Amino acid sequence: NAGVMQNPRHLVRRRGQEARLRCSPVKGHSHVYWYRQLPEEGLKFMVYLQKENIIDESGMPKERFSAEFPKEGPSILRIQQVVRGDSAAYFCASSPRMTRANTEAFFGQGTRLTVV
Amino acid sequence: SQELEQSPQSLIVQEGKNLTINCTSSKTLYGLYWYKQKYGEGLIFLMMLQKGGEEKSHEKITAKLDEKKQQSSLHITASQPSHAGIYLCGADRAAMEYGNKLVFGAGTILRVKS
């Protein structure tokens, strides 16, 4: 998976707590994408970020979810006041800051969030 | 309904047999990606196709994008147990200058019987 690192791999939270999911892109990649894979559903786009900018958040739930990709450090997907329906696998992908020709999107191993 | 329709939803083949998975879109695809996912794990990039009529191969897996760029097929020759997993096609909808915001199909579950 070409170096996209996500942590933690597994996260258990009680209802009402906050979940923070981290993603370090492939070295040199400045584009980060977050996807969610709900049980029995496909992979859905959530948000697309570049360093310090949210480019497209059309797939993000309107409340409780936020994402950032600071100048330094990993991208963070933050879920406040988690509910059972947030239980899912969250994947991060990164791609280089180049044109689309031969551009692969490399995915991390995912963070599996379980809300109890 | 899914923007990308994958068929079949699941497939069980005998080891050594060939198989094909299809991915169909009602809209033009600017980039078509094939990934493999083992249950409970991340996505492994297989291939990306951009041009109509393009065909790529990696080991025993071949993917094609039709001329109209609205359908892709993934063909596995002489399947092995290591091919088992979930195959996902992803499509790049927008003709963006950069980035990979992908729409995914629901996936095809492949089981290979020894």
CA dihedral sign of residues B82, B9, B43, B57: positive
pLDDT for residue A51 = 87
pLDDT for residue B99 = 57
Find the CB nearest B101 among A45, A110, A112: A45
Per-residue pLDDT tens digits for A39-72: 777 889 999 998 889 988 989 999 999 999 998 9
pLDDT for residue B86 = 94
Mean pLDDT of chain A: 89
Beta bridge partners, A66, equal A78
- Interface check for A101 against chain B (CB to CB < 8 A): the answer is yes
Distance from CA of B74 to the nearest CA of A (A): 17
Mutate to test the interface with B, among A30, A32, A103, A106 (most CBs of B within 10 A): A103
Q: Distance between CA A24 and CA A29 in Å, rounded?
A: 9
Q: Do A33 and B96 touch (CB under 8 A)?
A: no
pLDDT for residue B102 = 83
- Residue of chain B with shortest Cα separation from A113: B40
Residue B27 clears pLDDT 60, i.e. is over it: yes
Q: Distance between CA B107 and CA B35 in Å, rounded?
A: 9
Per-residue pLDDT tens digits for A75-90: 999 999 999 999 999 9
Mutate to test the interface with B, among A43, A47, A54 (most CBs of B within 10 A): A43
Lowest mean pLDDT: which of A13-27, A29-43, A101-115, B46-60? A101-115
Q: Do A107 and B43 touch (CB under 8 A)?
A: yes
pLDDT for residue B14 = 97
pLDDT for residue A1 = 44
Lowest mean pLDDT: which of A55-59, B22-26, B45-49, B89-93? B89-93
pLDDT for residue A92 = 94
pLDDT for residue B58 = 87
Under 8 Å between Cβ of A85 and A57: no
Residue with tokens 């049980």: A39
pLDDT for residue B100 = 64
pLDDT for residue A113 = 97
- Interface check for A108 against chain B (CB to CB < 8 A): the answer is yes
Q: Do B43 and A98 touch (CB under 8 A)?
A: no
Cα–Cα nearest to B107, from B19, B4, B14 = B4
Residue type, B59: E
